[in-house]
Amino acid sequence: MQLNSPSIQSGTPVILGSLPDPAISDQTCPRRATIEIDLMLLAIEALELEGSEVILQTAKYLELDEIIKDRVTLWRLRNTNPLRRQNQRRPLSLTEAKALVIVGCYMARRLTVLIRQLLLAYQQLQEQQLSMDHHFRLNEYLERFRAHFRSRMNPRRAAVAENYSDEKLNQLALNLLTELLFCTGTHGIQRFWFSLFDGEVA
């Protein structure tokens, strides 16, 4: 039946259809969305060794490799984040954004167990008023996240400079961990996707 449907163009992966286009004027991602998407992937890389390689494999598995072709393309897409050192001054199209979000959420889903463990550990440490380095795996995640963030984001950007301290970056990493958990749900992809456009639609 879907063969006759005009909305599905040849060359557009069907999986993207699960995410509707938001009502924004130009069909490109708002600034906040490009930042959020890149940071979410950064958090995944901090959770999983060889994360960027897995991103490419996942894209291929989900038949999104037309959009996320190779390492260079992925690098270009992620560098639409204006906070990056190598910011690409090009917009991120909705199609590209959808592909990145789907890949990211899919990877988060595979990491569900770890994400839950780390969040529970965080909760316990907080209740006992202990610092994060009391939990080996959580501390490892935070360390890796801070290193990734500092090596890739441009400290001349105010938003980066303000969040450069260990404390701030830990908080950011923990927030992203929470976001990742909600991405793993049955409708997690949709929930994350719609949140990217909060305050952007008329």
DSSP three-state, residue 74: helix
**Dist. CA 42–CA 44, nearest whole Å:** 5
Decide: is 96 part of the binding site for another protein (CB under 8 A).
Answer: no
When computed from its CA atoms, the radius of gyration of the chain, rounded to whole angstroms, is 17
Q: Dig out the tokens for 173 from the structure.
A: 């990493």
Decide: is 175 part of the binding site for another protein (CB under 8 A).
Answer: yes
Asked if 157 contacts 82 with a C-beta cutoff of 8 angstroms, the reply is yes
Q: Dig out the tokens for 195 from the structure.
A: 């949140």
Q: Out of 8, 22, 69, 88, which residue is the one contacting another protein (CB under 8 A)?
A: 22
Decide: is 99 part of the binding site for another protein (CB under 8 A).
Answer: no
Q: Dig out the tokens for 25 from the structure.
A: 């004027």
Distance from the Cα of residue 133 to its chain's centroid: 25
Decide: is 87 part of the binding site for another protein (CB under 8 A).
Answer: no
**Dist. CA 152–CA 85, nearest whole Å:** 6
Decide: is 198 part of the binding site for another protein (CB under 8 A).
Answer: yes
The DSSP H or E segment spanning 193 is: helix 188-195
Kindly write out the interface string for residues 121-160 of this chain, putting x where it contacts another protein by CB under 8 A and - elsewhere.
-xx--x-------------------------------xxx
Asked if 33 contacts 24 with a C-beta cutoff of 8 angstroms, the reply is no
Nearest-approach distance from CB 153 to another protein, in angstroms = 8
Decide: is 31 part of the binding site for another protein (CB under 8 A).
Answer: yes
* Range in contact with another protein (rule: CB under 8 A) among 59-67, 93-101, 137-145, 193-201: 193-201
Q: Out of 16, 29, 30, 48, which residue is the one contacting another protein (CB under 8 A)?
A: 30
Per CB under 8 A, residues contacting another protein are 22, 30-32, 35-36, 39, 83, 116, 119-120, 122-123, 126, 158-160, 162-163, 168-169, 171-172, 174-176, 178-179, 181-182, 184-188, 190-192, 194-202
